[in-house]
Structure 1
């Protein structure tokens, strides 16, 4: 793994799932890490785990709603005070909305577009002055394969994800002269709390998690035949955030198990 000693990484949505796996990867590489999440209890639980696993690491955690620019600004200031200026920003907050065009109300469209765009816009604005002072600045945005392969039952999320895909390209062009690289990853189906809840609500009570997810992968035509593990997209994020990808900006890495049919 690339040595990130002396670097400061920030991860939004860092208290669980892909975000937490990403935090662990940065800490294992020697970076100091600031993470945030909306759920204060979950965040404290994650911090306790991290401090047990990495007792000598520099970690700052803070409850923060990335849709609130005041909270995000306070988080950015606190991270700099505790850890120093950021070198890496991972924009990871977000969730999916199941709806068709017919069932999506105007307020649902507005909520989805607001979440997908401003969960990137607010942290990027808040941390940009710090990133501009870094010799190896990078922003990584966690996006979905829906950006280029929309699903009819996720119409609002698919449209918003496509907008984020374009936003990454635009930011990469604008930020390149500032010395900040901007890239993204495109997620397929990855083991998450959402899928675990669907598994717990299943009708076939005798089906194991492995069998249930294998059948899901078959139904979704995923060539690798399984869901992804959180540490797999985390490794792609690490690559894009580190100098391992120093000549890469405006790009996206597909992390979908081969589910992408339009690359």
Structure 2
């Protein structure tokens, strides 16, 4: 049973076909919301849609292939959502993985790609859905961000800088949109189980082949000084997103929830 009833509400999740995005779609459907999700990979999106419809018979769901870096595709997606489900009440901006690189080995093109992905995945979707959100009595935007925004890592220099910019953007949008009744918040992720970490596990060196997933991630958590001693689950991040997107957080805007298991060292 969901902690909140969102019947009659329409939620949009970008990057919703896997990981945290998919877990968020699940929670929103459980709460009774109509949900639109998009992703770039058509096959993965189709698989996710089939799983969701099987788990939630009769749900109001719209899935569309969309590259959030292509503004015309995002505008078309926004029009489809309104036509199929009604105007959006909640927008969850969730797109983009991290880039491992130092300042010395990050070329100009890599900087541009990283900054474009992190900023315009938020900008394009927010711009496209803003007219719909303005008509909602309880509109919200949630940006899925990383702890790197406030606790940068030298081996992820471009991602850290871009994440810091999005952290600032959330605060700016919250101020600008408050008179419209639109709340804007974000979450700051630590290490969360994902396909990216699964691939690193599968590619682990021979000396680590005796470690199963639980042991390997526990050691990783120890190495990273994660106080809770493990990686987070996508569902744990999704719960924080649901809280910020829903009226449960009706007096919260311009804020971020830390979902890092104690990895955070910032004040």
Q: Per the shorter chain, which TM-score range? A: over 0.9
Q: Identify the residue that residue 134 of structure 1 maps to in structure 2.
A: 136
Q: Identify the residue that residue 248 of structure 2 maps to in structure 1.
A: 244
Identify which of 238, 241, 265 aligns with 1:261.
265
Q: Identify the residue that residue 225 of structure 2 maps to in structure 1.
A: 221
| Secondary structure of the structure 2 residue equivalent to 1:89 | strand
| Structure 1 position 5 matched with structure 2 position 11 | no
Identify which of 175, 194, 203 aligns with 1:201.
203
Deviation of 1:216 (Å): 0.2
Q: Identify the residue that residue 60 of structure 1 maps to in structure 2.
A: 62
Count of residues in correspondence between the two structures:
263
| RMSD of equivalent CA atoms | 0.4
When normalised by structure 1's length, the TM-score is 1.00
Q: Which runs of 4+ in 1 moved over 3 A?
A: none
| Secondary structure of the structure 2 residue equivalent to 1:118 | helix
Identify which of 35, 47, 50 aligns with 2:49.
47
| Secondary structure of the structure 2 residue equivalent to 1:3 | coil
**Partner Cα distance (2:76, 2:85) in 1:** 14
Deviation of 1:261 (Å): 0.3
Identify which of 158, 161, 164 aligns with 1:162.
164
Deviations 1:211-230 (A, max 9, x none): 00000000000000000000
**Partner Cα distance (1:163, 1:66) in 2:** 18
Q: Identify the residue that residue 100 of structure 1 maps to in structure 2.
A: 102
When normalised by structure 2's length, the TM-score is 0.98
| Structure 1 position 212 matched with structure 2 position 221 | no
Deviation of 1:206 (Å): 1.6
| Structure 1 position 76 matched with structure 2 position 78 | yes
Q: What residue ranges of structure 2 are gaps of 5+ in the alignment?
A: none
| Secondary structure of the structure 1 residue equivalent to 2:185 | strand
Deviations 1:13-61 (A, max 9, x none): 0000000000000000000000000000000000000000001110000
Deviation of 1:205 (Å): 1.5
**Partner Cα distance (2:21, 2:216) in 1:** 24
Identify which of 6, 13, 16 aligns with 1:14.
16
| Secondary structure of the structure 2 residue equivalent to 1:119 | helix
